[in-house]
Structure 1
Amino acid sequence: MPQIKHIEIRACRADAADPVLAATLPGGSTPDFLVVTLRTHEGLMGTSFGFGGLNAVATGAVLSTVKPFFLGRDPFDRERNWQEFRKFNRKWNHVPIYAYGPYDNACWDIVGKQAGLPVYKLLGPARDRVPTYASSMFLPDTAAYAAEALSVMQAGFHGYKLHPPGTFTEDLAAYRAVREAVGRDFALMADPVAAYRLDEALRVGRVLEQLNYLWFEEPLWDEDFRGLRTLAQSLDIPIAATETLAGQQYASAHYAAEGAVDIIRTDVSWRGGITAVMRTAHVAEALGLRCELHTCIYHALEIVNLHCALAISNAEFFEVLYPMSDYDFGLKTPLRIEDGYIYPPEGPGLGIDYDWDYIDDHTVEIY
């Protein structure tokens, strides 16, 4: 069986914009990113983008601490690798939540190429396309949200999610204006990114119910177990959370079983890669809950997320950040979205057609 003999981590800087300003997510800038490539003795290569954070050089250095664990390992041994990494990491490393995912994704890429099949075929597809919604950045005013939501609907997307300004009064105005702009039946979601106190979240949730929003996402910090459970038990609108929790499916299962969430959130970037996403989705399904995938930001990672979405029967939508032009770099073949549905690539493995010239031109450090 193949063994991983070489690992390369590229730290890439795509935009000279102020990274601290970019982290406020106003849109209009291209974030730092990582590219992790595993090579086997037999010449098979697996690649995945990784989260770059504020500084890809710093996050690349963090990911490099995982390299010694994977060198010499079989990329097919995903369960062995998963279990042994948990022990390895607990004893010394304690890496951030974004560190393991790119390695796992790259292993799946190798496995799919060896099999000559797309990864979603190996996972077992439930469908061949996924309805897609557009997710806003933090826009300057209420009118901007209403105008963008209308443009998203007219472009054929199946829904629109607000990341509102983050203050109670402004957010309520934005929620109302967007509903008025798109009509009663277009799918809307709210994601204030942990902006509220519990009392505020209860009041906002009741307004969202009246406005026919589909779900209320991360109104409190993901770590606020008691607060989220209070919301989930007090409101009719589903509460979505867990995308930033450490502990992958283990933590999500606890939240779900104890009634702290109605919809579990996960993704292949922050939550442990394809292996963890599929485990999380199955836990949610066993408990009768939906598992909606969180955007991976970069389109090269959205394709990895898509392989999972195609094989998850309890996920209704696929999320992409809007405007999409901020995140479509590093690919020769863009995301395929037609009539509001996203379709997978058909090549073996992850099927991603990387633009290596672009990646080379923006690499600032190699580990």
Structure 2
Amino acid sequence: MSAPVITNIEIRACRGGDTLNSRDAVTAVQLPGGSRPDFTVVTMTTSDGVTGTSFGFGALDAKAAAAALSQVKPFFIGRSPFDAAKNMKEFELFDRRWNHVPIYAYAPFDNAAWDIVGKMAHQPVYKLLGAAREKVPLYVSSMFLSGPAEYVEQAMQVKAKGYKGYKLHPPGEVSLDIACYRAVREAVGDDFTLMADPVIAYTYEQALKVGRELEKLNYRWLEEPLLDVNFNGLRKLREKLDIPICGTEVLAGAHYSTAHCIAEGIVDIVRTDVSWRGGITAVMKTAHVAEAFGVQCELHTTIYHAMEQIQLHPSLAIVNCEFFETLFPFDDFEFGTKSKLNIQDGYVMAPVGEGLCIDYDWDFIDAHTVATL
């Protein structure tokens, strides 16, 4: 009996909004929340009829994102879903020879292949990766709000729900940001975990000032204060500050670039995820590299709950990852699946089922599909 190979791949470009209109990029890039983002969906079918599916990043325009994914599609036709390491290694050459797809293009294919593998093994993927635990502490992250009162209100909601932490994506102006950081700490008390993620809003000098304030406020980490490729600036911050510097979530090169950042002392905590950084296979490689150096590898939100359900699998198989992250509130991101994250007492519980254990809402996906490649 011959081993199954991938014989068909469907890529869908999907609008988040019910009107199916594209969004104005200048407005959308502010990320204020209040609307569903665009998304893509990749479905693979094997020679013996087994399917695997993964959501993918939709960027600010799902049609553009799907076009990028279409450049990966021919690579996987005829390949075995079981050959994750081989596929990832050989894709390096395929991509280097004048393809150069965006960092989010490979992941949905890798994830969908893992879905197939789990279904054929009749096991959830996290068990095949090597389970480390059956639940993960949840923290949630804000969108970009207007000021202290809005962050305080949200943080108090989060604490009341029993979640294990809250991360601020602050407005981006130093004095206002510090006011937000202070107000939230005062509101939630000293024993609740807080993080700060300004998403490259600061100069080096501003980041140093904010970092020292966050140390006084006992924030858990300062994330991406400067661009991830600003290696010199990040290293200087790490040397000057006691608060851990967290980064690497948007670096190309997955485990290769992360290894460089660890070895060169650029950040204290590294980031990866199953959307922007190569899928499940690359996430596990990155986490293992970090583990060998004694470094925490915190998984970055994938935005969509349909992908957070995928990310849960490596989260349950990584020993050097403390938390599970989602954006808050859930309303804008919890769509496209009938299955939901099982959150109990502030923990995300292990899924039950085979493969990625996701029950997709195909009626929703069909209604929001604007192109199929």
Q: Give the TM-score category using the shorter length.
A: over 0.9
Secondary structure of the residue that 1:35 maps to in structure 2?
A: strand
Find the aligned partners of 2:59 and 2:219 in 1 and give their Cα distance.
Answer: 30
Correspondence for 2:210 among 204, 207, 219: 204
Contact 2:309 2:340 in 1 (8 A): no
Correspondence for 2:232: 226
Contact 1:12 1:56 in 2 (8 A): yes
Find the aligned partners of 1:203 and 1:140 in 2 and give their Cα distance.
Answer: 21
Partner amino acid, structure 1, of 2:10: E
Correspondence for 2:12 among 6, 10, 13: 10
Correspondence for 1:33 among 36, 39, 60: 39
Partner amino acid, structure 2, of 1:204: V
Find the aligned partners of 2:88 and 2:353 in 1 and give their Cα distance.
Answer: 26
Correspondence for 1:177 among 183, 193, 212: 183
Correspondence for 1:320: 326
Contact 2:16 2:36 in 1 (8 A): yes
Q: Structure 1 vs Structure 2: percent identity of aligned residues?
A: 63
Correspondence for 1:134: 140
Contact 1:22 1:29 in 2 (8 A): no
CA apart distance, 1:38: 0.5
Contact 2:249 2:271 in 1 (8 A): yes
Contact 1:163 1:192 in 2 (8 A): yes
Which 4+ residue blocks in structure 1 deviate beyond 3 angstroms?
A: 16-19
Partner amino acid, structure 2, of 1:6: N
Secondary structure of the residue that 2:98 maps to in structure 1?
A: helix
CA apart distance, 1:14: 2.1
Find the aligned partners of 1:111 and 1:4 in 2 and give their Cα distance.
Answer: 12
Find the aligned partners of 2:132 and 2:30 in 1 and give their Cα distance.
Answer: 36
CA apart distance, 1:19: 4.2
Correspondence for 1:82: 88
- Can you list the C-alpha shifts for 1:183-239, whole angstroms capped at 9, x where unaligned? 011000000000111111111111101000000000000010001111111111100
Unaligned runs of 5+ in 2: none
Is 1:119 paired with 2:121? no
Secondary structure of the residue that 1:314 maps to in structure 2?
A: coil
Correspondence for 1:263: 269
Contact 2:36 2:332 in 1 (8 A): yes
Correspondence for 2:155: 149
Contact 2:313 2:356 in 1 (8 A): yes
Secondary structure of the residue that 1:134 maps to in structure 2?
A: strand
Unaligned runs of 5+ in 1: none
Correspondence for 2:174: 168
CA apart distance, 1:360: 0.6
- Can you list the C-alpha shifts for 1:283-320, whole angstroms capped at 9, x where unaligned? 11111110000000000100111101100110100001
Correspondence for 1:190 among 196, 202, 210: 196
Correspondence for 2:260: 254
Secondary structure of the residue that 1:160 maps to in structure 2?
A: strand
Correspondence for 2:115: 109
Find the aligned partners of 2:207 and 2:257 in 1 and give their Cα distance.
Answer: 22
Secondary structure of the residue that 2:198 maps to in structure 1?
A: coil
Contact 2:8 2:44 in 1 (8 A): yes
Secondary structure of the residue that 1:352 maps to in structure 2?
A: coil
Correspondence for 1:303 among 298, 301, 309: 309
Secondary structure of the residue that 1:92 maps to in structure 2?
A: coil
Partner amino acid, structure 2, of 1:117: Q
Secondary structure of the residue that 1:102 maps to in structure 2?
A: helix
Find the aligned partners of 1:13 and 1:310 in 2 and give their Cα distance.
Answer: 31
Find the aligned partners of 2:24 and 2:355 in 1 and give their Cα distance.
Answer: 33
- Can you list the C-alpha shifts for 1:161-197, whole angstroms capped at 9, x where unaligned? 0000011111111100100010011000000000111
Secondary structure of the residue that 1:137 maps to in structure 2?
A: strand
CA apart distance, 1:253: 0.5
Secondary structure of the residue that 1:93 maps to in structure 2?
A: coil
For residues 33-72 of structure 1, the aligned pairs below 5 Å read 33-72=39-78
Secondary structure of the residue that 1:49 maps to in structure 2?
A: strand
Find the aligned partners of 1:179 and 1:150 in 2 and give their Cα distance.
Answer: 10
RMSD (CA atoms): 0.8
Q: How many residues align?
A: 367
Secondary structure of the residue that 2:143 maps to in structure 1?
A: coil
Find the aligned partners of 2:188 and 2:273 in 1 and give their Cα distance.
Answer: 28
Partner amino acid, structure 2, of 1:253: A
Secondary structure of the residue that 1:271 maps to in structure 2?
A: coil
